[in-house]
Structure 1
Amino acid sequence: MKKLMISITLFFALILGLTFSVQASEINWDISHWNNLDSSIYWYELNNKPYKFVPGEANPAFDPSKPTIIYIHGWQPEYYLIRHRESFYIYGKDTADDWIKKGWNVGVFYWNQFSDEASVLDAEAKIWTPNGPQKMRWRKGNGSYDTSNNINVSASQLLYQQYIQAMQGYKGNEIRIAGHSLGSQMAILLTKQISDNVDSGNIPHELLPKRVSLLDPYFSNLGKYYLNFKWTGEVCRGYVQNLINTKNIPFELYTSSDLTKGIAGDDNIGLQRMCATSYMKPTFYNDVQQIERHYAAKYNYFSSFATNSPLEYFNNNPTGNIAASASTPTSRIAEMMGPNYHWVQIGGNATTDTSDDIYQKQVDNTNYFPVNDLSLSADKTSIKPGEYEAIKSDIAPENATNKILMWKSSNDSVAEVCVDGTVKGINSGHATITATTTDNITKTIDITVSK
């Protein structure tokens, strides 16, 4: 009964919002994208123009030397009816253009044929297992499902496979993963798989994302048999905590609707307290327009890259600092993480324009323990081109609240440093690797690269 109530609640909300969603895309996806399985990464060019990633082929919208963001959408019931796929045409503007003009690759992973299920729980199961209630069936353009069951991996594993192929030979300085709604679970599982395969030596450290963005994330209630009866939000919390602790990856989280909590889902407050969490208040939609508010997290995030970061207030006074948005530096996102604070939107609520947004800083916990000492060490400080060396960090005190480190190399052409503090030799020379805590304690270590 609870599964039925969740499905009905969200299904009708989405059906009410379908007209809105259609208006937010000007791409003509023809029937071929539904009659055949098309679960792929598409890279976007200017003017909201997508190009499918094809293994072994150059893509006109992707440059492996540029910073890159990949977006993952959520549940999409009955979207086959309107031939709709999410894009970056938002609030009447091609928002990907702002990213592209600033030198970014912008991509989407489409799994809409799998997530086109009447029940959100059936779509969610496919993220985790190929053996859920509906297995890995996918929807065709005539509304029928292909149930041949020749897909033997989950949707998140399909995403990972696409990711490592599309990002092969990546040489850029930043990868960002963003997921909306159920897509936030996909983003977390993708990041975990990347981390696991980096640890196993299967893929290079450079493929670790430097930042993960969770946009009005959705997690269902109750335990799942395919997760040993744990909740999806519970498992995701464990993954995120481990990724923060072992891989140093900053997470930002934005809530914007009531669709992800209460009877409809799991608030996952524990996850919110790990991340840099902002509570959006998009009052340009009324209380009934929860589907529009649900999408506002995605829309505002991608729109905000074109504007300055929101102002931060505390006790209704400006602090001189900034709050979170897509344009906020990752170092600031890292600084905002943890259980002590969250941010609530108090200005710019009435319009889609992100340039006037203001967020009030709220104190959740006054027991903040700052980092007061940091030391760095390495087994080897002289490496060869192409060789990796992990920089070890020792942070004191042990119970410091925020142990995230920001890493930087003085000369990326000699030695690059990844988000987890692993250095890669590039060319002969000397480079200074700097680590900075969110409490502004900085330490360095010198690395020599020689053939």
Structure 2
Amino acid sequence: MKTRLIILLSIAFSTLSLNVKAEVTFPDAAFSNLDYGLYWFDYNDAKKANVNEPNPYYNANNKTVIYIHGWQNGSVTERRRETLNRSNSGGPNEDLAWYWLDRGYNVGILYWNQFADESEVKDAEAKIHSASGPRNMRWKSSNGSYSSGPSSSVTQLLYNSLTNGMPNFNGSELRIAGHSLGNQLALTISEKLDDAVNRGVLTSSYRPNRIALLDPFYSIGEKSYLNNDWTGERSKSIVDALKAKGIAIEAYRSSPVTSTFLAGDNNASLMNSIAFSELKPWNFSWWQVAEKHGAAVTHYFWSRAFSPLTLDGSNTQVPSASASSTVIKTWMNKNKGVIQDSGAYSATPADDDFKEKSRL
């Protein structure tokens, strides 16, 4: 049973990144050469954020949402990158970024797909935290070969790209959402942003207002590159510090990838300290673990198109992208989370209702 589940989840992780349609395409050079960092999106295009180069899809005064993907096993040789078009993952045949652009947001994606393309998820995970993990910082080319990479961790590289790519930011909201392994990057990058604000290196606008952990994944076991901490432990310590700063943090679980110990650490202590929502993407069959794993991304970014979601038969709001940060903070401090109660057999969040559930 253990072997079968691990194989199933490995297939799920591996195929997810290959099942995402995108109207935006990337040149072959983005896969044959090392290409990582921040891309800003418009309705039908994306442009990389380059230092000291104006970007037509970035406005320093706009609210901003940043998405960070997870493990990308097999994606580089297929020359595929995630976008927010989730049409092959249960979403509409359109880019969910549109709903955020319509509401005045800058929409960016932080790419680390060439570092994240490893056959073993733990090898990709290590690069988030250290440049000296099992595979150091090697990156994959579209010809299938690996090359030695830079001497900085993915966290440091993406932090640099983000801060360089959003100059003079003065928007009223900075929201960072990370899927799967990307949730750890959402936290580590937010930690670095907060530290830079505290030291006066960045203005307070750069401190994230809100962090969304989308079907987050943490591998089990001690990590030598973290002084024998688990990655879930390290993430929990970051959450505690950011929560104390008043940052709204929410998590959405949609698959057994994060709730089955044989696959990963469910990190109950972390989930019990933030706003937690359990989704039921029953529009997929039980064996479609990849699609269920990606359903948290679809749900979160699509929910921005609708009014805030609620508890059954009431006006009480539950965590969603449309809920205010005040609502998220309220659920962070409750002794309960929420679980989907209706709308499970349709992909759209429009018919979803929830009920309260005990903490993990």
> TM-score, length-normalised on structure 2?
0.94
CA distance in 2 between counterparts of 1:110 and 1:57 reads 19
Instruction: Give the SS at the match of 1:352.
Output: coil
Q: Give the Cα–Cα distance (whole angstroms) in 1 for the partners of residues 5 and 346 of structure 2.
A: 30
Q: Describe the superposition over 1:156-212 as per-residue Cα deviations: whole angstroms up to 9, x where unpaired.
A: 111111111122201111100000000000000001111112222222221001100
Aligned residue number for residue 203 of structure 2:
204
Aligned partner of 1:256 in structure 2 is 254
> What corresponds to 1:82 in structure 2?
78
SS in 2 for 1:362: strand
How far does residue 16 in structure 1 lie from its aligned partner after superposition?
A: 4.7
Report the counterpart of residue 51 of structure 2 in structure 1.
Answer: 55
Structure 2 equivalent of residue 216 of structure 1: 215
What are the equivalent positions in structure 2 for 1:282-431 lying under 5 Å apart? 282-313=281-312, 318-338=313-333, 340-364=335-359
Instruction: State the 1:307 CA deviation.
Output: 0.8
Distance 2:304 2:134 in 1: 39
Partner of 2:28: 31
The residue type paired with residue 342 of structure 1 is G
Local SS of the residue matching 1:79: coil
1:360: Cα distance to partner?
A: 0.4
User: Post-superposition shift, 1:363?
Assistant: 4.3
Identify the residue that residue 43 of structure 2 maps to in structure 1.
46
- Give aligned-pair identity as a percent: 37
1:72 aligns with 2:68: yes
The match for 1:242 is: 241
AA aligned to 2:106 is N
Whole-angstrom distance in 2 between the partners of 1:320 and 1:360? 12
Equivalent position SS for 1:94: coil
- Please give the alpha-carbon distance, in whole angstroms, between the structure 1 residues aligned to 2:14 and 2:151: 30
The 8 Å contact of residues 132 and 226 in structure 1, kept in 2 or not, is answered as: yes
TM superposition shift of 1:140: 0.5
2:277 is the alignment partner of 1:278: yes
Residues in 2 aligned to 1:161 and 1:330: alpha-carbon distance in whole angstroms: 26
| TM-fit CA distance, 1:324 | 1.2
Distance 1:6 1:230, change over 3 A: farther
Change in 2 beyond 3 A, CA 1:8/1:363? closer
Greater share of residues in strand? 1
Aligned residue for 1:107, secondary structure, equals strand
SS in structure 1 at match of 2:323:
coil
CA deviation digits over 1:122-161, x for unaligned, max 9?
A: 00000000000000000111010112x4x11100111111
Amino acid in the other structure paired with 1:39: Y
Q: Secondary structure of the residue that 1:61 maps to in structure 2?
A: coil
The aligned amino acid for 1:14 is: F
1:273–1:339 Cα contact (<8 Å) kept: no
Cα deviation for residue 362 of structure 1 reads 2.2
CA 1:319–1:256: 2 relative to 1, 3 Å? same
Q: Once the two structures are superposed, what CA deviation does each residue of 1:295-353 show, in whole Å capped at 9, x if it has no partner?
A: 0000111111001111213xxxx232111111111111111113501100011111111
Runs (5+) with no aligned partner, structure 2: none
Partner of 2:156: 157
SS of the aligned residue for 2:315 comes to: strand
Shift of 1:5: 8.7
Give the number of the structure whose alpha-carbon radius of gyration is greater: 1
Greater length-normalized contact order (CA 8 Å, ≥ 6 residues apart): 2
Aligned equivalent of 1:100: 101
For the residues of structure 2 that align with 1:296 and 1:14, how far apart are their CA atoms? 13
Equivalent AA in structure 2 for residue 104 of structure 1: Y
Normalising by the residue count of structure 1, what TM-score does the alignment of the two structures yield? 0.75
Correspondence 1:177 to 2:176: yes
> How many equivalent residue pairs?
353
Give the distance between the partners of 2:248 and 2:17, measured in 1 at CA. 33
Is the 2:58–2:166 Cα contact (8 Å) retained in structure 1? no
Aligned partner of 1:352: which letter?
A: A
In structure 1, the residue corresponding to 2:247 is in which secondary structure?
coil
Shift of 1:26: 3.1
- 8 Å CA contact 1:167–1:207 kept in 2: the answer is no
Match of 1:426 in 2: none
Counterpart CA distance in 1 for 2:122 and 2:359 is: 32
Partner secondary structure for residue 252 of structure 2: strand
| 1:413 corresponding residue in structure 2 | none
Q: What displacement does 1:13 show?
A: 2.1
Structure 1 unmatched runs, 5+ = 366-451
